[in-house]
Structure 1
Amino acid sequence: MATDPLPIAQDLIRCASVTPADEGAIAVLERALEPLGFQCTRLRFGEVENLFAIRRSGGNGPHLCFAGHTDVVPPGEGWTHPPFAAEVEDGTLYGRGAVDMKGGVAAFVAAAADVVADGTAEKGTLSFLITGDEEGVAVDGTTRVLDWMAENHLVPDMCLVGEPTSKERLGDTIKIGRRGSFSAEFTIHGIQGHVAYPERADNPVHRLARVLYRLTEKPLDSGTEWFQASTLQVTTVDVGNPTNNIVPAKAFARLNIRFNPTHTAVSLEAWIRGILAEEAPRHDASFSCSGEAFLTEPGPFVDALRRAVQASTGEEGKLDTGGGTSDARFITRLCPVAELGAVGTTMHKVDERTPVEELRRLSSLYGAVIRECLG
């Protein structure tokens, strides 16, 4: 009989682990994994509790790592079921994290129990990389654990991130890459003055308008085989001028670029700095990148995922790179990584929920993934 992921998911949801709090979530996983032969290591960085758990086989088979997170976003108001009660009504599990992604973590734990029971786990190595810092700033979570894994020679051959990637039906979408996210903000300095005497002033708003026009007048690119075109969105323009007869002394703007692999954070910064230098030599600017674009090229790992999806759900498993960022952006520096998980229609919403039967089907899918990857 297949291991039921529902009790594990309920135990996790009942931990009110709003990022970066743990509230006992890591302990739930330790209790579930240690009896299966996993060696569990807690890794605390700053305020964040992380877990690395590994079960080695006796041979030299491949190492598959499952990456996920136990932290959740705040629940907000208006729930019909308490967000941390993990109640089941009419065959549906309600709770913050039911979809994103305590349900996915529980499904993979249950799948691991099944492959340990049937002997598949002896063909290779299974591990879990679980963080409590995915929904937050992501500084003391996955990226720090990856450093620890590399230092301790625990680099996997492949990694599956259990984010809720399915759009309408379980298994309809597999993420094999993500766009990068690059942010810029800049203040343009001018010379304050009376609007009736513009020759005595230097209007920073006019300079800012020229900068923004040049940044947005043309598409950044036309996309690639696997990625849509990169996009630039201006998210705020602020001057703070309370009157209509003063040329202001400065003007501020902020923007974000979601970019495909035809760009890098370095190239985007250089492009923006060049335009600023030409249009507004007197400026202050700062830049940040929460993750570079990456792609896991279709190959043995991606093929194994598609076979598992087809066998378990009957879906094609469309390969996709859309959406926001995930911790896969960090994992790609260590090994091939892809994302496959639940239907994500209610993630981060009030009354986040998943059908119990779908949760069980996700566990079966993950069991098929393990069997395909460990061969």
Structure 2
Amino acid sequence: MPDVPVETVLSDTTSISEARELLRQAVAIPSLSGQEQEVAAFLSGWMAQRGFRAHVDSAGNAVGERGSGPLTVALLGHMDTVPGEIPVRIEDGVLHGRGSVDAKGSLCTFMAAVAALPESALAAARFVVIGATEEEAPSSRGARHVMHSLNPDIVLIGEPSGWEGLTLGYKGRLVARVTVTRGNFHTAGEGQSAADDLTEAWFRVRAWAARTAEGGGIFDAVQATVQDLNSVNDGVTQRATGTFGLRLPPRIPPQEAEDTVLELLHDLPEVQVTFTGHESAVRHPKDNVLTRALRVAIRAQGGTPVFKVKTGTSDMNVVAELWPVPTVAYGPGDSALDHTPDERIDLAEYDRAVAVLTAALTRLASAS
């Protein structure tokens, strides 16, 4: 990584050491989905101390605003994490801890960058940072709340892309809960068990997903995984249940996938299917005022901008319908470390992401 003076792009308000300490403290506060109160209070307090108009809203989001110009930039990150305790520590310039990558690193990048903006940018635009609740839960409570109260002109989603990466889209999602119930019988007799029929249901769904991949890449195909399986037999009734997770490409909306699954399984006796997690895929254009500003800022830091699409989902999927504006997901860190026992973030990369975003936001404001 080239030796670029990152400090020069930060204001006196927020130094590199302050930005790093913000991240360390945020990661040190446990914040499972639905249990974000302590970290929300910390983050909103940090923003209030640095000139943000900050509060915790009715959905539990930590919200901070700076600037008063006509352009509104929403910076939507999330402060909740998946389970799994990782001792918080810094070793050789690397911060280890749950949420360091997914996605407190991105959210703290947003906060530090907006805190460092010059007065000229604040006169031209309003920057709204949101630390959302329950992104890691099916509810996406925080994003669903704020999407109805803001009408932004530009949106950044806080997710790890690597400091040189710009994520343009995410696949959609559908979760199918399949249950087979039938009377018990002796295994030496003829017939299929409830588990047999559940297995057949999975084979059919998996085969359909494989067919969608013909002639295309992984982003354009359905990905199917078994999330859990369970079978019980009380001597009278057999019950087998399975949860099938489907990652959907932009060309297959959740309702179409739901109809397809029901058709695939319609002739299996005593099968019931319920669906959750209806989220449509989203893919934003690569050339707009936001991507141009970020590309210039990345190059100024010695990097090469890289466009990405992700096979997971994020709050980008949630807000896209109501916020049809230039949108990118951005943040430091390697997304391959999300949810793993080795989750960690290189603090030098975090510094560089703060510098990139500060410069890009300043450029956006000056162009408005």
TM superposition score normalised by structure 2: 0.81
Question: Which residue number corresponds to residue 300 of structure 2?
Answer: 311
Question: Which residue number corresponds to residue 293 of structure 1?
Answer: 281
Q: Structure 1 residues 224, 38: closer, same or farther in 2, change over 3 A?
A: farther
Q: Percent identity?
A: 24
How is 1:137-216 mapped onto 2 (pairs within 5 angstroms)? Answer: 137-147=138-148, 149=149, 154-166=150-162, 170-171=163-164, 173-190=165-182, 192-194=184-186, 198=190, 204=194, 207-208=197-198, 210-216=200-206
**Matched-pair contact (CA < 8 Å) for 2:279–2:317:** yes
Supply the AA of the counterpart residue of 2:23. Answer: A
What does the per-residue CA deviation read over 1:216-267, in whole Å, with 9 as the maximum and x for residues that have no partner?
3341244768933222234455544699xx9x75544431211101111111
Supply the AA of the counterpart residue of 2:102. Answer: D
Deviates more, 1:252-261 or 1:359-368: 252-261
SS of the aligned residue for 2:141 comes to coil
What does the per-residue CA deviation read over 1:44-75, in whole Å, with 9 as the maximum and x for residues that have no partner?
33xxx2123223424x3x22111112223334
1:176 Cα deviation from its structure 2 partner:
0.8
Supply the AA of the counterpart residue of 1:15. Answer: I
**Matched-pair contact (CA < 8 Å) for 2:33–2:133:** yes
Supply the AA of the counterpart residue of 2:133. Answer: G
1:178 Cα deviation from its structure 2 partner:
0.7
1:230 to 2:230 alignment: no
Question: Which residue number corresponds to residue 97 of structure 1?
Answer: 99
**Matched-pair contact (CA < 8 Å) for 2:294–2:357:** no
Find the aligned partners of 1:234 and 1:353 in 2 and give their Cα distance: 27
What does the per-residue CA deviation read over 1:287-318, in whole Å, with 9 as the maximum and x for residues that have no partner?
1125221111223133333333233342122x
Find the aligned partners of 2:229 and 2:341 in 1 and give their Cα distance: 31
SS of the aligned residue for 1:44 comes to coil
Question: Which residue number corresponds to residue 108 of structure 2?
Answer: 106
TM superposition score normalised by structure 1: 0.80
Question: Which residue number corresponds to residue 51 of structure 1?
Answer: 62
Question: Which residue number corresponds to residue 363 of structure 1?
Answer: 354
- Of 74, 79, 95, which residue of structure 1 is paired with 2:83? 74
Runs (4+) off by over 6 Å: 223-226
Find the aligned partners of 1:70 and 1:122 in 2 and give their Cα distance: 28
Question: Which residue number corresponds to residue 254 of structure 1?
Answer: 243
SS of the aligned residue for 2:285 comes to coil
SS of the aligned residue for 2:225 comes to strand
Find the aligned partners of 2:34 and 2:199 in 1 and give their Cα distance: 40
Give ranges in structure 2 of 5+ residues lacking alignment.
1-7
Q: Structure 1 residues 140, 205: closer, same or farther in 2, change over 3 A?
A: closer
**Matched-pair contact (CA < 8 Å) for 1:114–1:367:** yes
Find the aligned partners of 1:223 and 1:302 in 2 and give their Cα distance: 29
How many residue pairs get matched? 346
Supply the AA of the counterpart residue of 2:333. Answer: V
**Matched-pair contact (CA < 8 Å) for 1:192–1:202:** no
**Matched-pair contact (CA < 8 Å) for 1:186–1:283:** yes
Q: Structure 1 residues 69, 361: closer, same or farther in 2, change over 3 A?
A: same
What does the per-residue CA deviation read over 1:339-369, in whole Å, with 9 as the maximum and x for residues that have no partner?
1111225443446433332221111011122
Instruction: Find the structure with the greater CA-based Rg.
Output: 1
Find the aligned partners of 2:353 and 2:273 in 1 and give their Cα distance: 46
SS of the aligned residue for 1:287 comes to strand
1:41 to 2:55 alignment: yes
Give ranges in structure 1 of 5+ residues lacking alignment.
none
**Matched-pair contact (CA < 8 Å) for 1:191–1:202:** no
1:273 to 2:262 alignment: yes
**Matched-pair contact (CA < 8 Å) for 2:44–2:56:** no
Supply the AA of the counterpart residue of 1:24. Answer: E
Q: Give me the CA root mean square deviation.
A: 3.0
